[in-house]
Each structure stands twice: as C-alpha cells, then as structure tokens.
Structure 1
C-alpha cells in the first residue's frame, strides 16, 4: 500500500521537524512548508492526504488559507488546524469552514497520532478533485452568477439554465445539489416518457438535472411536465438546461408551450467564457490540478506568455473546449513548463480551415424525371436527412415530418429506406 502523504505547515522549524520525525516513524511521507505561500504552491501541484496547518503564521494566517482553499475548490483533503494559543471560537470557526479537527500545542503524541489516523480515514470518503463552480473564477460576472445561485438554492422551484454549448451549466446544477442527497444527470431521456414516477420515487429529496430539454420528444416533454408538477411532493429539485431558443421551437410546434411557461418562470443565463476572460488563468490552474490529481497527467506549470495567449484566444466551445486544450498541452508538452510555443502548436490544430469556394451544387432531384419518380427521389433524400440528423430516432423523425409512426414506417418501406 502506498504511504500516505502529509503536509505540515508551521513557521516554527522545531515544530515542523518534530512532527516530520514522528510521522515518518509511523510510515507517512511528510513534506514541510514554513508559511502559507509555500503551502499554497505545494497544494497547487499536488493533493496531500492530510494537512496539519498552523493558525498563526507571518504571511497569512491558517484560517485565511483554509478559506482560500475552500473558495477555490481545493479543500478536498482533511485539514487539522494547530495553535499554541487557540480558543474555542477559533476552533469552531475552523471547523465551520471545513477543518476536520483542531489540535492545541504542545501536542501530545497519542493525541496527534489518534487525530491523524481519524483524519485520514475521514479523507477516504471525501470526493476526489473535480471541476466545480468554485473553479469558474473570481471575477464580477461569475461572482454575480454565484450570488444568484445561492439565492435560488433556498428554493425548490424548477430552474432553467440557458447558455451556449460548453459554458458550464452542469457545474451550476451541481452547486445547487445538497450533499448526501440523490443526484441524477438524466441522459436517457426515454425514461421521462416510460417511467416518470419511478424517477421521482428513486430520487426523493435529491436533484434531477436534464442537460438539454430541447432534445426531448413530445412524449418525453409530457413526462417532464409530470415530473415538474409532482417534484415538490417528493422533495425534488429539477434543473433543466438548454442551448436552444425554446420560444422558437414552440413556434415550430416542436416544444410544448405549457412546459415552456413552467420552465421560464425561473431561469438563469450562464455566461460564455468570452464574458469572463479574466478568469481563464484561474480556470487553467484548476483544470491542470484536476487532471494531475486524477492521474491523467503529470503536473506542468503554464508560464505568463502561455496564459496570456490562452486568455486572448477565441473559445466558441467555452469551458469544454478550454479543458480539451489544457489536457492536450499537459499530455503533449515535453518540458516541465508549458510555454507560448506549446500553446501556439496546439491552438493551430484547432484553427478554422480556410474556406474554399465551391462550385454551385447540382440539383438533388433530376428535374427531367416524371413527377412521381422525382417526388420519390425527394422524399427519399428528405427522410434520409432527418434519420441521420436524429441518429435514427424514428419518433423524432415522425414529429418533424408530422406523420403517424405507422404511416412513416410504411413510407420508408415503400422508398426502400432501411432503419435500425
């Protein structure tokens, strides 16, 4: 079994070295930091299994550092606070922020070992590093988004999140999810039509998140309407998201007007990455940390020129695209530091292809054929287009064509079109 890693943060060299010797004798791997700046740098590069953190340090007190890690999504390991002249109020404050326990100096050997052992066992049940709303940034745009979500967290009403693809709607939904309650990110939309009541029963007092309501069929929309109307009875919060203009889909008879009215009663716009570019350096650091701690890559720093280039680049795919580029850079850069040349190398791979002027398209249907044959050719092209567009979902093809499904199957058979 790999030895557990403990980070000891204390400005007194005697205490640091004493704790290191004791813990090393117990089989732990111990790293030392003499102040908050060192501890901050070490945490950015690696997630220890446990942190022993002194409260009183010259550059930044331990409580402030604990808050900083919590606000930055870095407090996913147990932290035990230490103080030579602590008070009950300080211990309560540290525990409220997220500390596991509080040790008063001088620390008795048995008390130290018992607390370390308990903290490490507690750490086994903590979630591993992952992106969260805390990682989105510290700028005004994200600050306002967080405040609105905090205000909405007090309610159980349905919420519609609206934003461009990849903007982070799932992180907003996760923010609203209460710890130790059921969570469902529903991607099998057919369950809304076939088992809406079972979904409610299985996720009592939890949160159901639907990533794209515009993709729901008419039957699935009816199932969602039932879920929304009965959610309060089951103590469930329903969060939906869309990248599509739903009123337009209503006008096209593709979306239920009653469902739209219910969803838009409470809606929130999630900003695109272009709206908070100042947060991109912090986002990159968070993404690099998550990739490192998940074991996908070794940690690499980004120099200033590399960060500036990424901040000024275009990100039509928002967070999802930025994360793909960061992963690519972390995995393919040869040195320990990611530089401007590395960023240019990767960004060029995603540069848009120069448009080439094409000749005018040939008619899709032979206009010289008899009307019946030409009509069959057109219908064949029409149905093949919509079958490909919906990945073979015959229900959605029937909705688009406004045909009964049995009529549609007969038509496809007549035209010689095979379905899965």
Structure 2
C-alpha cells in the first residue's frame, strides 16, 4: 500500500520531475502540474493529501491556487509552499491562510521529505479526531435498544457475549427489527470500538457496481477507472465491516468474501497485489439462507463461515411489551427534534399502538411516532394523530377472493404505487416497506412502467 498522495505544482519541469521520482521512490502516489488551472482539474480527480505548491506560477498566484483548492476539497489536505528567498514574506502569508509550512529554494530534499511525513501525520490525527468525535456521538446508539421483553434481553445477552470475541456474527431478522443497531452495538462493545465502522447494503447497490464498492479497483481496470479506488473492505481495515442484506450478494462475490474471511486478504479489481486486512465481518439478512442455499443462490461454505455465531432478532409483533417503551422513547426523541412538549399517549392511542401488527417493525413504529408528534396539537397523542386504522392493516388471514375474482396484476401495481407514494418515491424505503430487495422492486417498477407521474 502507498504512503499517501502528493500533488506537485511547479512551473519548472526539471524540479517537478526530480521531486516526482524522489517521492515515488518513497512509495507515494504522485501527480504533477505546471500551472494552477491544470492543478485544479487534477486535484478534483486525484484528491491528494499533500500539495507541494510553488508560489510563482505562470497563470495565477500560488496563494490563490491554495485558496481555490481548499474551497473544493472534500477531505483533509495540507499545503507545503515552495518559495525563493525573495518571496519568504509571501510564504509566511500563505501559512497565515492555512498552509502547513514552507521550504525555500534550492530545496533541501531530506527536510522536504520530513515535512511531507509530518503533514500526513497531522492529516491522520485530524481524521482520527473526526472519526472519534463521530463515534463518540454514535456510541449513544446502544441506548436506543429499548425494551423489557425476555426475547430482547436474550438478544442483548448474546450481543454482550459475542462483542469482545472478534468473531464473525450473522444477524437474522425481518426488515426494521434493528439489525443495524445491534451491529453497531457489537462494534462499540468490542476492542475495535476506536476504529472505523463501515456499512454496505448489498441490496441497494447495483450488481455491476457492488464488487468495486466492496473491493475497490486499480487505475485502468475498466472504462472510467481513471484512478485507483479503495473499496470499503480496505477502508474498514482494523475496524468492523457490516454487510447488510448479505443474501443479495452475487455468487461470484461470495467466493471473494469467503477468501477474505478465511485468509484476511483480497485483490482490487484489475490488481495483482495481494492486500492484507484485519477486519471483523458482521452480516445481516431478512432471508432464510438455508433456503437460498437449496435454490443455489448462496454458497454453503460461506453460510457456515458467517453463521459461526448468530443472533436472531424477533419482530415487534412477537414482543408487544416493548411497543410502549419504544413509543415513549421515540416521543422524547421527536419532542426534542421538533421543539414540542407532548406529555404522552391517550388510552385510545395506546390501544391503537398495541393492536397494530407492525409489519415494518421498529422502523415503522418510529415513523408513526414522528408523524404523530408533528401533527399533535394536544398534551397527549391521540389515535387520530397516529393515523393507524384497520383499513390500513393488511390482514391476509381475513382476506377472501371475491366470487368475480381479482386482477392480480392490477392489485400488485396498486400495492407498488402506494408503497412508492408512502416512501416519497425513494426506492430503498419502499423496498423495506414491502419486504423485498432494492433490485426486486426496481425490476417490478420497470416491468409495470411505474413512474412518479404515472396515472393508473
């Protein structure tokens, strides 16, 4: 693996090439530019961490270039100013405006190498601080696991046992039960808690892009691969990788994942180098993987690797004693979010919450409470604020086909359209409402030519 990315901006060709060769020998990825305009274009694509910037450029002032690059930068980067003895005042001005340091011509190479190393150390510390700040905020996530049921207590018992063991864990449960929350809790209770937690949803990313998202690719690996890209496996090194909807992983990628778990190594697309990583794998699915194995859609050997330890998260309808504690938690959460002071739930609202089957589980309950908090004008949430009605509850046990029959195609179209409207035409949300994968819903929408403006 390389030590970092460096962009050299200098109009002297000999100096550019010398510096390029030196830093490439030091195992850095290096790009060069002779002027500010070209540097801006390279910067957007290359995303360097350190920029060696000459103050005197043919088309614009070096400080102007630095300010423009800082404006468009999406990641932490540091500037080392290259200056002649006659422009030291300008270099000091650049430092006041955010440059890391400066070096005078003729360049003392060893000092420049040390400056680059220090700049990268600063970036690493900045990134670590940002990450730790985010994780400290996210560590409150385990407080969101609310409930008093015995089944939830068993989930938490297993979570506490497995978290410090650094083993693969498979989370099983319906959509909306909180598999992602349990995955984060496992991470924050593990020895990797101060490292990164990365998530990828195998169902929402198109199959053609999934391999590059997970494993990354080398420059020139395929059309459009202009630079090397690190995949999420590499980004999760020393941390935890959560693979949601693992049943949707194509079979060709299942073999690569199996090798990653067994050997802790992989190759980027188009790469020859074996990359070693230390990453913990947590996966989740709402499908029966044993049935997927029978259908030939999931590798048996991968299944047993993932299922070494598993946690089954029960649906909300099987732990009704958790509904009211969860509702109260969400009420408090959204009271703060919307600056409200609603005191609780009326008896009819409580009865409505307990009588509903919650097919969308905790995620659906949260959505209903948020809507109720927004709509409620009283001290207590009423049933009308929740907008739960028997008509909206799909009870297949009571469903009967009328004597004249039904048009199954039209019924499916209506269900698809309602799910899309209810989710604001966001395919991933609608897929979760229907309990299908992103790709399955996308296929059915295309099949029936359902679009936002479609009239049925």
Q: Paired residue for 1:158?
A: 168
Which residue of 2 is the match for residue 350 of structure 1?
392
Matched, 1:193 2:211: yes
TM-score (norm 1): 0.52
Match of 2:440 in 1: 389
* Alpha carbons of structure 1 residues 348 and 298: separation in structure 2 relative to 1, 3 Å: farther
Alignment partners' CA distance in 1, 2:369 and 2:408? 44
**Residue 361 of structure 1, CA deviation:** 7.5
In the alignment, what sits opposite 1:209? 242
Deviates more, 1:275-284 or 1:122-131: 122-131
Gaps of 5+ in 2: 1-131, 217-230, 266-275, 410-436, 445-456
RMSD over aligned Cα, in angstroms? 3.7
By how many angstroms is 1:356 displaced? 5.7
Matched with 1:76 is: none
Residues 1:138 and 2:148 aligned together:
yes
Q: TM-score, normalised by structure 2?
A: 0.48
1:28-76 per-position Cα deviation (integer Å, ceiling 9, x unaligned)? xxxxxxxxxxxxxxxxxxxxxxxxxxxxxxxxxxxxxxxxxxxxxxxxx
Post-superposition shift, 1:220?
Answer: 2.6
User: Given that residues 356 and 388 in structure 2 are in contact (C-alpha distance below 8 angstroms), is that contact kept between their aligned partners in structure 1?
Assistant: no
Distance 1:358 1:133 in 2: 52
Paired position in structure 2 for 1:283: 326
Q: What do the CA deviations read for 1:290-312 (whole angstroms, capped 9, x no partner)?
A: 2233x346342323512343123
Matches within 5 A, 1:4-153: 127=137, 132=142, 134-153=144-163
Which residue pairs with 1:223 in the alignment?
A: 256
Distance (Å, rounded) in 1 between the aligned partners of 2:408 and 2:393: 32
Assess if the C-alpha contact under 8 Å between 2:356 and 2:393 holds in 1.
no
Q: 1:230 to 1:349 in 2, by over 3 A?
A: farther
Aligned residues: 250
Q: Secondary structure at the match of 1:186?
A: strand
1:241: how far off?
Answer: 0.7
Q: What is the aligned partner in structure 1 of residue 72 from structure 2?
A: none
The CA distance in 1 between the partners of 2:254 and 2:239, in whole Å, is 21
Q: List structure 1 runs of 4+ shifted beyond 6 angstroms.
A: 122-125, 361-364
Call closer, same or farther: CA 1:322–1:313 in 2, change over 3 Å. Answer: same
Greater shift in the superposed pair: 136-145 or 269-278: 136-145
Q: Provide the C-alpha distance between the structure 2 equivalents of 1:128 and 1:298, rounded to a whole number of angstroms.
A: 24
SS of the equivalent of 1:327 reads: helix
| Cα offset, 1:125, TM superposition | 9.0
Q: Map Cα deviations across residues 256-283 of structure 1 (whole Å, 9 max, x no partner).
A: 1211121122111111112221121111
Change (3 A) 1:241 1:355: same
